[in-house]
Amino acid sequence: MSLYENHGLQLAVYCRQIFIEQPTRRFILSFICTQRRLCIYGFDRSGGWHSHLIDFHDHPLTLIYVTAFLFLAHDNAVGLDRHSIYKAGRWFITLPAGYRSIDGPSTTPLAGESEAAPILRRHAIRGRGTTCWPFAIGDKRYLLKVYWRSVERPSEAVTLVKARGLTGIGQLFAYYEDIERISDLRGPATFGTGERLLADRTRCQLVLERYDGPLTMAPTPLALLVAFRDAVQGHRNLLIECQILHRDISIHNIMFHSTGGEGNTGRVIDLDLAADVERLWRGGGRTEGDVRIGTHGYRSCKTLRHANTSFPLGPHDHMDDLESFFYVL
């Protein structure tokens, strides 16, 4: 392990905790300084990077510039989100003008607040970094989901717009896509299609309907079975009506909705790994050997075998999702 990597791993431990404690953080900049040399490190949802070693005795202005920037720059320049403010125990979060509701684009910002800490936050530095808050706009209760989507993956918001009004499927209220990309923060030179180049990610915000919680919130065994049946029916509706396959059925992606009414007491959520069926079968969305698709403990036997066999088993299909439903129950 090189000196850069060894120091980077030590810094990553502290930066990971910063991402956990500051869930709206976009990136983190830091540096290690000895009596003669300086190295700058950065961490974001695509991973980490570092500069070369800088001898500040030969380049004294560099030390002054780096120190001045890290200690005097405004919040947005050092990775904080200017649209999310924590004050007096409450989060005040705004979707900027230009966000889209289910009825079309808006010319005014959408402001809301949360009295609680995030109900879901990912602890890894690299990845989607999904964070979810209980979110109130006036007297209406929603769920705010913020995550970094790979630019190569289909948009969850677009999928939810297609699924508008379907029973058994979580519903979208508003969204703001492609807020900024990691390549905008780092520069495009570190991204591309080469083996050692990184996959670019874009920050997204979704305002979703809020439900009671996972199926374990059902008050009786009968209520659980009814909700489970509604979720399976919702999965079928998504496939038949929209030709979209969910591909990530798990205990955390089926919500219980006590006030949902007939056919809506169980809702399938989290469509960020969903795929168009036609693309899958044409080979544009092949999943063979792709261990990132689905929650490992609920994946079908076929998808688990893809990584260990050269025999063509075909793309992920509805039978794989039904097997995942079985493991949930």
**Does pLDDT of 29 surpass 50?**
yes
Q: For 175-228, how does the pLDDT look when each residue is reduced to its tens digit (9 = 90+)?
A: 998 889 998 888 766 665 554 557 789 999 999 999 999 999 999 999 999 999
- Every domain of the chain with CATH number 1.10.510.10 lies at 212-329
Give the Cα separation of 159 and 273 in Å (integer): 10
Distance between CA 59 and CA 37 in Å, rounded?
10
Q: How far apart are the first and last CA of the chain?
A: 45
User: Has residue 167 got a pLDDT over 50?
Assistant: yes
Outline where the chain has alpha helix (H).
Answer: 3-21, 60-72, 156-162, 182-186, 221-242, 277-282, 301-305, 318-328
Domain 212-329 architecture: Orthogonal Bundle (1.10)
φ/ψ of residue 298, rounded to 5: -120, 5
Average pLDDT, the chain: 88
Residue 73's pLDDT is: 87
Q: Provide mean pLDDT across the span 63-92.
A: 88
User: Which string of b and e fits 278-314 if b means at least 16 CB within 10 Å?
Assistant: eebeeeebebbeeeebbbeebbbebbeebeeeeeeee
Reply yes or no on domain 89-210 having CATH 3.30.1360.
no
- Please state whether the predicted TM-score (pTM) of the whole model is above 0.85: yes
For CA atoms 313, 318, 322, 327, the dihedral sign is positive
Coil, helix or strand at residue 289: coil
The H or E element spanning position 296 is none
* pLDDT computed for residue 310 by the predictor: 64
- In sequence order, the β-bridge partners of residue 121 are 131
Mean pLDDT of 142-149: 94
User: Is-contact 208 173, C-beta < 8 A?
Assistant: yes
pLDDT at 100 over 80: yes
Q: Where in the chain is the domain with CATH 3.30.200?
A: 89-210
pLDDT at 191: 60
Question: Mean pLDDT throughout 309-327?
Answer: 85
Question: Does residue 45 have a pLDDT over 80?
Answer: yes
Q: What is the per-residue pLDDT for 284?
A: 46
Distance separating alpha carbons of residues 93 and 111, to the nearest angstrom? 6
